[in-house]
Structure formats: structure tokens, C-alpha cells
Amino acid sequence: EDAAPRLPYLKACVRESHRLTPVGVILMVKQAAGPLTLCGHDIPPGTTVALNGSAFAKDPQYVDAPEHYLPERFLPDAVAARKGTPQEVLDHRLLATPFSAGARMCLGARVANWEILALTARLIQDWRFELEPGQSWTTVQGL
């Protein structure tokens, strides 16, 4: 049985983790098939264009409290509330996964997503995590 629909908060936690600590900064590199205009700049055909998803994911224009871990921002009600607003960019398929999208996306994406959900669910179910007395939590950003 498919357990993922019954785990919306866990899925939101994984999505928020991907937003805060992306595998790579540039998620998509494509060549312009025809002339296009991006942010007022004319892009000729054949020009390589890169999408920096990390910039959107951490821009206060699109994300409230961008440096804070808030999985609730990816729960279904929050996603629905963003519809039709500039913040909806967070829900675009190219920003919703670290595995790219389209015909050339990572072949192992489905397996990796299920492994993340299954492993995290089992760890939470079977283990108790706590800091030793006197210790504090330190976040280390890096790749």
C-alpha cells in the first residue's frame, strides 16, 4: 500500500530540507530553443540558460523566514494558499525536487525519494533522538 499520502508532514520535512540544503545550486541548464526574454533581457537562440533554484528558495521576496526550517510551508494548505501569488514559484516542479525534471531527469529519483521517506520514517519510528545534557544544536551548512 502507498503510505506517502498518509505522510504529508514527513514529505513536507523532506521538501523543506531540500530547499534549505540543496544538493547543487544550479538545478537546470538548458539551451534556449528560440528567442526569449527573461527579466527584460533578450536571450538569443542557442544561449545556455541556468536556473539557480537556491536563489528562489532563499529569497525573502518568495519565502517568509527563508533561513528557518519550517516544513509547514509545504503542507497542502500552505501550497494552496500560495496559488496565484509570486510565492507560488516555490511549488514549481523544477524547484520541488533536487533531481531535475523532464526527459533527462535523474533516473533514480523515484527510488531515492522512496528511500528518503522510508528510512526517515523508520528512524523516527524505531529510535529516540536527543542531545546529551549540556549540549546544544549546531547547524553546519556545506556541501
For residue 132, give the DSSP letter.
P
Residue 131 inside a domain? The answer is: no
H or E element that contains 48? strand 48-52
What are 63-84's pLDDT values in tens digits? 999 999 999 999 999 999 999 9
Average pLDDT of every residue of the chain: 88
pLDDT score at 100: 77
Number of domains in the chain: 1
* 39 is an annotated ligand-binding site residue: no
pLDDT score at 83: 96
Residue 132 inside a domain? The answer is: no
Residue 104 inside a domain? The answer is: yes
Q: Which domain holds residue 9?
A: 4-35+42-126
Residue 138 inside a domain? The answer is: no
Task: State the pLDDT confidence band at 51, using cuts at 50, 70 and 90.
Answer: confident
Residue 139 inside a domain? The answer is: no
